[in-house]
Chain A
């Protein structure tokens, strides 16, 4: 079949995947309750939301791409970095950023793509295996099309424009193409690994549970990597540039390593002179080798996507089970245990769920570098930590959409659901606070302000979480729908997050105002505002769910 026809077929499959990933309909089973026009609207929304997500991702890539041409941080730093080495550093950093951004996006959507089993349907049609494989690959590419196109077309053009080097632009094109293939292959490999070792693995023993946790952490490492890159991009660029500058003797080794090899290649192609022929030869050979590897990976990705899409990775096996004992808990603890179990097996949930912990680690790094935190530092610290926490409720609530046609038949009080999810989301904040306490004690820093304000801020964090979950619960009870993955429904997520962020920020704002006029009353004002927020939202929750 012609590629154009396969491209057309892939559009239908892609639409279906977007739709399923947003509304968790695959297992929710509530679709027949919607009217025709309502469903059409949902389909349109699904397309619009995936487009918005792609645009947001493209903006991220564009922003990082621009930094390659304006490395302000490097100029302002004390490092004496040559222009050639600056290009090596910035291009290498951009390739790393691009790869991590695509992988983190893939992390969220690939599980929806594979679990939708939309490709299964194609296998039953009179299409050759090769055609099915191609459609699966095209469909997978559609998930990333805009960011991929922007990077592969925009960056080389921008390079030629800013650096006035056509050869450099061509080298950039090659490096971006290879990076994109590597990113897609990594996403696919991780998805296969996830299905084979995490989602499909059985067993109740503690060892198996521990193994699943370790595998899960390995699975979500790229997202952490991306997050760290986003937080420390300037430091990374500085590191890359200074590393290649100061340890020049090691450049022969570095030059063969991805992504440096392409950094060197682009730099050679731009400046031509200033490098030895040996290092040039190393860069060319290694870059070509990576290109050949990328060509092989394209084939591998196509085949793997088809096999995963067709459910080839799952296989239930019978095993000896010692007993069938179960341990019922109270309803709210039962919900928490269920949520934790699901989150521990679904990267799209786990990665968001672990975000506050990662944010805390990053903050702790900054904490260890800086001196004692003043009031402004403490409030800034808390703002970052608590903003990360309010990302959790929508993700946590989307779990309810997975089997809503069944779970809604259970005798579950809305209030219990709201309180259990609020507790779990708030607990992640408390754990972050504990990490800070332990680190501060270890570093012998004065942790009193951050702990006092942090503890008081639990009230506002709990209020924000409760409000978000209340809004989501009302929507869920009314419509029976829960939002799917965060990347597919970014705009709705933002609308839910805004009230939560306002609640989080109000005590901080009040404390800043108090600091300007009544410095002795800052903590008291902070506490009173948090208390008022908590009492009002708890009262609303209890009143609405009597």
Chain B
């Protein structure tokens, strides 16, 4: 049965006088992969950081499966998060890092280990399991963050640019896992700049610009809404974020140099 996984109402995030997220509201239901799109500095990561409890909003409310985010432990227990900037505890090895996160999440040992074995094999991280995270490549660090996000089988996955640095194989596996997660009744919020990925993977997208949602729905819905968009999500995105105007002249100018 479909359920509301995330409910964001009238969210405002501000840094001093700068308003990064301006009265934003949206819903994500179970079974959905919600694509969060927007140009740099649009407010996507700020919104995501509020959703996962890293950042306090100025006003508005966020509920994760009917639990307000102010009930930190209960809300965060239901989330698996991959941050935009993979900032883990560098001096620990992946094994030690995952021991820490699973301790905080109070995971049961045997079930966790079974799942961990599958995930490390899938993402080919076994060979680096006892290597300090500081010595890992960006892609391998990303894999550690992804495994940490999936290990406790969260109901909601919040993935902020999760494909950055991943090799083709791991990207494919992650996309399959995300699809499977939604199909099983979980919910996913997926932030990306790669329009092709969003178009193929997401069941619904929300386009954020200057802290507000400027377009929301399935890609087909958006096509109908946005006049002049030639068809791809990229065209729609550039139109609704008003980034298309003057782009041809800029490109021509650069080419003439």
Contact = CB atoms under 8 A, between A and B. Distances in A.
A274 interface: no
A324 B103 contact: no
Contact of A406 (B18, B109, B145): B145
Interface in A173-229: 199-204
A475 interface: no
B103 A330 contact: yes
Nearest to B90: A27
13 contacts: A36-B16, A38-B16, A324-B95, A325-B116, A328-B102, A328-B109, A330-B103, A331-B104, A338-B103, A341-B92, A342-B89, A406-B86, A411-B76
B137 A316 contact: yes
Nearest to B117: A324
Given A406-B88, A409-B83, A337 B132 contact: no
Interface stretch (B123-131, B208-216, B225-233, B235-243): B123-131
B46 to A, nearest CB: 8
A321 B120 CA distance: 11
Nearest to B118: A324
Given A324-B95, A329-B103, A330-B103, A403 B89 contact: yes
Contacts of A324: 95, 113, 116-117, 120, 126, 129
B113 A325 contact: yes
Contacts of B53: 408-409
Nearest to B74: A411
Nearest to A315: B135
Interface string B168-211: 00000000000000000000000000000000000000000000
Contacts of A203: 130
A321 B103 contact: no
Given A29-B83, A331-B103, A411-B105, A321 B89 contact: no
A417 to B, nearest CB: 10
B83 A405 contact: yes
Interface in A308-328: 314-321, 323-328
Q: What is the interface of chain A mostly: helix, strand, loop, or mixed?
A: loop
Contacts of A409: 52-54, 76, 79, 81, 83
A319 B127 contact: yes
Given A324-B116, A412-B76, 17 more contacts: A27-B88, A33-B46, A202-B135, A316-B136, A316-B140, A319-B130, A321-B127, A326-B99, A337-B99, A337-B100, A338-B89, A338-B100, A338-B103, A341-B96, A342-B92, A406-B88, A412-B73
Interface string A360-398: 000000000000000000000000000000000000000
A334 interface: yes
B106 interface: yes
A126 interface: no
A32, A199, A402, A404 pick with most chain B CB within 10 angstroms: A32
B54 to A, nearest CB: 5
Interface of A: 27-30, 32-38, 115, 199-204, 314-321, 323-331, 333-335, 337-338, 341-342, 345-346, 402-413, 480
Nearest to B95: A326
A412 B102 CA distance: 11
A35 B145 CA distance: 28
Nearest to B151: A326
Contacts of B129: 321, 324
Contacts of B112: 326, 328
Interface in B19-77: 45-46, 49, 52-55, 72-77
B101 interface: yes
A35 B15 contact: yes
A312 B220 CA distance: 50
Contacts of A327: 99, 109
A329 B107 CA distance: 8
Closest 8 CB pairs of A and B: A334-B103, A35-B16, A411-B76, A318-B127, A316-B135, A328-B102, A27-B87, A202-B131
A29 B91 contact: no
Q: Which of B52, B105, B132, B135 has the most CB of A within 10 A?
A: B135
Contact of A338 (B96, B105, B117, B131): B96
A515 to B, nearest CB: 46
Contacts of B52: 409
Contact of B135 (A38, A314, A321, A329): A314
B85 A29 contact: yes
A28 B87 contact: yes
Contact of A411 (B85, B104, B108): B104
A338 B73 CA distance: 20
A405 B128 CA distance: 23
Contacts of B96: 338, 341
A201 B96 CA distance: 14
Given A324-B116, A326-B95, A338-B96, A316 B83 contact: no
Nearest to A320: B127
A542 to B, nearest CB: 16
A204 B130 contact: yes
A518 B128 CA distance: 65
B141 to A, nearest CB: 10
B93 interface: yes
A338 B130 contact: no
B8 interface: no
A282 to B, nearest CB: 46
A334 B101 CA distance: 8
Contacts of A204: 93, 95, 130
